[in-house]
Structure 1
Amino acid sequence: MGRPRGFDEAEVVRSAAELFAGRTYDGTSIDDLVAHLGVHRNSLYKTFGSKRGLYLAALRWSLEHDLAPLIGRIAEAAGPLEAVREALAAPATGTGLDLLLLAAVERAPVDTEVAGMVAEAFAALDRAAGASVRADDGDSDSDSDSDEASGLATALTAAVLGLRLRARSGTSGTAVDRAGAAIAQRLDQR
């Protein structure tokens, strides 16, 4: 019988998600993971198989624990203005949107499994944004209204992700908040 695992796997995955969300996959070495997580290299390999295995576990964790609740709040928003506020109010320290953005630009182009998870997350964000747009429209049923709502939902998702990217790059929170409010107000006026 082997030795019992000396670490909390869920805590390691959560902490790895934070590290990957701040540094990217390629910007994080196994030595960085060992130092940050406080887990021996052999234990990481035995549990996750590889750095990629840990990354996939961290991405799944982030999508489920950080992004899914945010998507739920966006879907329940009373309109686009509230949806944008919810999205921009996501904690700056949360991994959800940040790890999703990094996964989309760094790993999805070269890893089909990551690409699939990113595509599912984008689709969920679009559906949630669509729910907020339809809530604002009074649930119109015509095909042209549905097509417009779908297009607006995708645009809203792209705008929120772009604003999050700008915030990560150092744009002041005030500027990001103003831009988000301007987008949402325009959507409310339509």
Structure 2
Amino acid sequence: MARSKEFDEAAVLEKAMLLFLDQGYEKTSMQDLVEHMGIHRRSLYDTFGDKHALFMRSLRLYKSKVDDRLGQAALNAPSALEGIRLVFRAMTDRAPEEPKGCLLVNTAVELGPRDEEAERLTDESFCKLEELLKLLIQRGQANGEIVNELDSQATAESLHTTLLGIRVLARTSAPKEKLLRIASVALSSLEKD
């Protein structure tokens, strides 16, 4: 007779995701995961598979949280410009107790070129964010709040690159004020005089 799980799978996956965000893939050992998730090693393997499979599930969880939460909030903002500002605030407004950085960016840098699945997941998320920014720029141009002369695709790519830089800097000891200044300069290029 099979034993029932003695843990909440979603809750322990969330714990694994946060540990990977804090330490990265390579630095996180199976023992770290067992201790942090609060489950037995056998349960970890039976439920999630090996470390790579657990990491991919953690990355998918993070990706869905970021893509869904950010996309919906930005699209539902009172204006296109406010939607773009909201995206930038999401990258700069972290509580001090939260792990620093972004699991997608960290994964792209750490694993991207040598792990096809990780590269595909990070690329999907990056493309989705660029498309969101492009849509918001076009919406803002149509309603007169964003400069019409800007190429929406090139501007979305530039804003996304700035967001990537902010996410990397967020992993360091860079002060929040610096991140806010970078965001402010990027956003000022969109606004009509």
TM-score (norm: length of structure 1): 0.87
1:7-26 equivalences under 5 Å are 7-26=7-26
1:9-48 equivalences under 5 Å are 9-48=9-48
Q: How many residues align?
A: 186
Deviations 1:137-163 (A, max 9, x none): 1179xxxx7992011111111101211
Amino acid corresponding to residue 56 of structure 1 in structure 2: M
Structure 2 residue 111 is matched with structure 1 residue 107: yes
CA RMSD, 1 decimal: 2.5
Match of 1:92 in 2: 94
Deviations 1:6-38 (A, max 9, x none): 111111111111111111000111111011111
Deviations 1:56-100 (A, max 9, x none): 111111111233211332344523464134333355266796111
Matched position secondary structure for 1:109: helix
Contact between 2:74 and 2:82, CA under 8 Å: does it hold in 1? no
Give the 3 Å change call, closer, same or farther, for CA 147–97 of structure 1 in structure 2. Answer: farther
Matched position secondary structure for 2:190: helix
Between 1:28-37 and 1:158-167, the stretch displaced more is 158-167
Amino acid corresponding to residue 8 of structure 1 in structure 2: D
Measured after TM superposition, the shift of residue 113 of structure 1 is 1.1
Matched position secondary structure for 2:189: helix
**Larger helix share, 1 or 2:** 1
Match of 1:185 in 2: 188
Give the 3 Å change call, closer, same or farther, for CA 100–171 of structure 1 in structure 2. Answer: same
Identity %: 28
Structure 2 residue 64 is matched with structure 1 residue 64: yes
TM-score (norm: length of structure 2): 0.86
Q: Post-superposition, which runs of at least 4 consecutive aligned residues in structure 1 deviate over 6 A?
A: 94-97
Measured after TM superposition, the shift of residue 116 of structure 1 is 1.0
